Structure 1
């Protein structure tokens, strides 16, 4: 939950030390054809060049708002150095800024939660003033070890899509320093790319009639940029691995599910998909959200909205996201637009004729995904049915009854050793397990069953909540962070080794003491359990029967 604040602090630390990197005319320049781009810095700890804020798309403003991006125009009048940071307009729901942390603390410490779960009882929290926020935000960063940039052998490429519920975040929220240092230590260097994509209404506004998923088009154009230009930085366009967590992971699933009409080939060869999550939206909800946005702007059409000043749109977007009424949701996200995405991703990927089964994947989720998105109302057993109806409004009454009575009955037996255990011991855990299954873990389950080569893991360091594993994946052991809570440096290094070796050789290995051999999921349906003190191969903890039920409902 504190990752965004942590990432921001790390960014400030990075910026404050830039003087030690001494921006200089001696830093290399890459000719991209449409522009000349110079490295912004050489990081002394990683000996890596940072090519910051490279434009990969034309400014998505005016008549281009809410639409797929266009390639950048040619501008060779001056050398670009990426000195101006770029962050896409965003917002955060009141439930996540005001209620989530105190409620989770009460649950984890066993103390009463005395706050209100009604968002109208809290003031609107606006995003912090940030001079980098602009609609003209479709930029990416390339960080490449000097030895790779100047060498003759192309290195594998890692492309990172940030999470944030499709409404918040940016390419600098996690920094690759720790991963790059570890890659150098174990002799497996790589090129790192981090991508901005449009958020909130700017990236995901839809009308239920074909408009939508601009953010997915952004990501696809960025991936095509990598395919075309990464060799200029020492990267191998034939060895690209995409990686994302939460909304970033969900984005990758949608890129895999993209219609063949979007692009004949997926522009990557491997994927690391962590805690993929999204809420599929009905046509009615899409239209309602669009109408609410237009009313906030005091216009009646998208054509009028495209003519408004940027500040007015940015404010309306932040307000609409902040006042998201359903706890655990973010207003915006991917939709079935019948062009980029033609059906639920689960149905597309599970189709026997799915084209990309040969892509190698690593998947992961935390052991307690749903708790972060479970509202305080979930503590009351009587609220369970109404919560289901709230999160899945299009579901039939008969199916709701089936969920309540058959799939998640009020039988609190998680503490027993019986094979009949349902995985929860009280009403809150019941709701949390439902949230985990329906919107997160079951997506991992079908991914592991779809691909010919899949390496699956479960992060179980207590409390095992959503996004807790990201700090381990990007841990910088040269600057130990004392705010990580329960932590094991050897586990973090092992997890980094698994990522880095997967990039380089197509299968994860590590020489750390904690490490064990990672078996493919397809061999026997078992997963790597990443615990605080040990790592072990275990049975997949996700209920396969419940997941088959959810695959046709939540995608």
Structure 2
């Protein structure tokens, strides 16, 4: 089961809003816009937002095109000197696709929202979906921005910050920087798909400060970014290339952000779902042996594959090569862009089992030497950073198979997810950790509720437990419980940019401002607390978390501090 974050209905609305909002209140008079000399190119801001007083430097190249021999390889920094001034007018989105089963997940969410869960008919819905898919051929990418040459990033900088840049040295001074890593199950998403960052920048200026610089990066998705396996690596492929893409972009920020007025010693990573999971992997990259180029990290609903076995990675790669009609990496690198994209689309759309996205971080012995939970428990991670993490109250609604009813169903599903699980581990999971007791003695009273809890913990919530435990009480943790608490519901709150006052409107403005306040305060000062905000305590010895609700903010024991998460962290299921 590969980790999560598809935009769903909330994310798609956010995407549309970001496109519209980012274009408003701006000027596109290029002659009046500033330029930054990066050495390998001169890049000019594409717009200036009069309302927010921010420059938008869009689609800045941070790597050479990952094509030819660089396809399925680690990214390489740009070289040479482009004689043409770039303004980022050409959009860039990495090739992507999402699973067919996600349609059923949206229907399940709708049934929960409308109170019709008891009448939800998975079998009938699935049959209708399969009939539709059988009559509908796979299609090519329809977004004209989609290209293999997609390793670009955006920089949004307040004018007040940019105007002070000349006095800042390379190593210190300047504004704090927030680097956004998007989610999407490692198969979908882009640097601009989650919303307009102007609200975050505005929140960072609430106390009279100049504010943050916001950076958003692209990384390769699906097969193009996450192929792995011993054979693939042995033939010269780079497993988990998407993590290297992110790492190179973060290093780019550390190297060049002072040219925009930023401080390379005040970089905070912020990411949701697959983005949050990616950040956990950046914290544990190479077992902590190579250092990192960031100082703080905020993970939201961090999700990633809790298995990551070589057997699974080998199967995914073999299947992809079969769809591409090749048998070797060298042959795959000779295929056309259209062919590699179509093979990825077919494979991801047919992801199986339900809840799987096929791709995501896999243990490779290098950048991911072990599962992150084990690396964190062994002290093999970057320790010289500050961490804040959060999760939502009902993450699992989108990713839980609704057909799990009998013990045979659960056993079959878990063996699909964990192909190497032993009988002892399976029995312990089903009989001790998540027993089939629906008499009120557990936190669930139905098989579906039991399945919801399993997915909630093993894919999302326990990941926060691993982080908070590793950072030994110095981190900050929160639970976002605004109804309905679904996965990704907090993304519009993170990118709030005005409007919305109640639940029926889809967003609570005071809650959004509170969440943004915590996020930017932590990014700027390493502490989420600030004026006019409810006190946010450190995780501490009592394992307390901030509970953010639509009408109140309180503290409560961390829901991941339990024997189930302690068991998942040991990796005994692999």
**Which TM-score band (shorter chain)?**
over 0.9
2:156 paired residue among 140, 143, 148: 143
1:524 matched to 2:561? The reply is no
2:418 paired residue among 387, 392, 400: 392
Residues 120-135 of structure 1: pairs in structure 2 closer than 5 A: 120-123=130-133, 126=139, 129-135=142-148
Report the CA distance between 1:221 and its aligned residue: 0.4
- The alignment yields a C-alpha RMSD, in angstroms, of 2.1
More deviation, 34-43/173-182: 173-182
Question: Measured at CA, do residues 388 and 121 of structure 1 come closer, stay the same or move farther in structure 2, by a change above 3 Å?
Answer: farther
1:375 match = 401
Aligned 8 A contact 2:105 2:397 in 1: no
More deviation, 5-14/309-318: 5-14
Aligned 8 A contact 1:494 1:510 in 2: no
Q: Secondary structure at the match of 2:421?
A: coil
More deviation, 493-502/286-295: 286-295
Q: Which has the higher contact order (CA 8 A, sep 6+)?
A: 2
1:552 matched to 2:564? The reply is no
Cα distance in structure 2, aligned partners of 1:229 and 1:429: 49
Residues 76-87 of structure 1: pairs in structure 2 closer than 5 A: 76-87=82-93
1:2 match = 9
Residues 297-312 of structure 1: pairs in structure 2 closer than 5 A: 297-312=324-339
Aligned 8 A contact 2:287 2:380 in 1: no
Q: Secondary structure at the match of 1:390?
A: helix
More deviation, 24-33/379-388: 379-388
Cα distance in structure 2, aligned partners of 1:205 and 1:172: 24
1:99 match = 104
Aligned 8 A contact 2:108 2:398 in 1: no
2:201 paired residue among 180, 192, 207: 180
Q: Deviations over 1:65-110 (max 9, x none)?
A: 11101111223311000000000000010011x2111122123333
1:364 matched to 2:384? The reply is no
Residues 8-407 of structure 1: pairs in structure 2 closer than 5 A: 8-14=15-21, 17=24, 20-96=26-102, 98-111=103-116, 112-114=119-121, 115-117=124-126, 120-123=130-133, 126=139, 129-151=142-164, 152=167, 154-174=174-194, 175-188=196-209, 189-209=211-231, 210=233, 211-259=238-286, 264-279=290-305, 280-351=307-378, 353-379=379-405, 382-407=408-433
The TM-score normalised by the length of structure 1 is 0.93
1:475 paired residue among 496, 514, 522: 496
Question: Measured at CA, do residues 481 and 25 of structure 1 come closer, stay the same or move farther in structure 2, by a change above 3 Å?
Answer: farther
Q: Secondary structure at the match of 1:546?
A: helix
2:170 match = none
Report the CA distance between 1:242 and its aligned residue: 0.3
Cα distance in structure 1, aligned partners of 2:152 and 2:10: 22
Aligned 8 A contact 2:219 2:242 in 1: yes
Aligned 8 A contact 1:117 1:376 in 2: no
Question: Measured at CA, do residues 482 and 27 of structure 1 come closer, stay the same or move farther in structure 2, by a change above 3 Å?
Answer: farther
Aligned 8 A contact 2:229 2:317 in 1: yes
Aligned 8 A contact 1:471 1:484 in 2: no
Report the CA distance between 1:378 and its aligned residue: 2.8
Q: Secondary structure at the match of 1:328?
A: coil
1:418 match = none
Cα distance in structure 2, aligned partners of 1:469 and 1:156: 23
The TM-score normalised by the length of structure 2 is 0.90
Q: Structure 1 regions of 5+ residues with no counterpart?
A: 415-420
Report the CA distance between 1:201 and its aligned residue: 0.5
Report the CA distance between 1:16 and its aligned residue: 5.3
Aligned 8 A contact 1:144 1:192 in 2: yes
Cα distance in structure 1, aligned partners of 2:502 and 2:558: 32
Question: Measured at CA, do residues 187 and 413 of structure 1 come closer, stay the same or move farther in structure 2, by a change above 3 Å?
Answer: farther
Question: Measured at CA, do residues 172 and 349 of structure 1 come closer, stay the same or move farther in structure 2, by a change above 3 Å?
Answer: same
1:447 matched to 2:473? The reply is no
More deviation, 375-384/458-467: 375-384
Question: Measured at CA, do residues 178 and 128 of structure 1 come closer, stay the same or move farther in structure 2, by a change above 3 Å?
Answer: farther
Question: Measured at CA, do residues 309 and 183 of structure 1 come closer, stay the same or move farther in structure 2, by a change above 3 Å?
Answer: same
More deviation, 519-528/104-113: 104-113
Cα distance in structure 2, aligned partners of 1:544 and 1:85: 45
Aligned 8 A contact 2:310 2:364 in 1: no
Q: Deviations over 1:275-299 (max 9, x none)?
A: 1111133222211111111111111
Q: Secondary structure at the match of 1:522?
A: coil
Question: How many residue pairs get matched?
Answer: 542
Cα distance in structure 1, aligned partners of 2:139 and 2:32: 41
Cα distance in structure 2, aligned partners of 1:108 and 1:429: 15
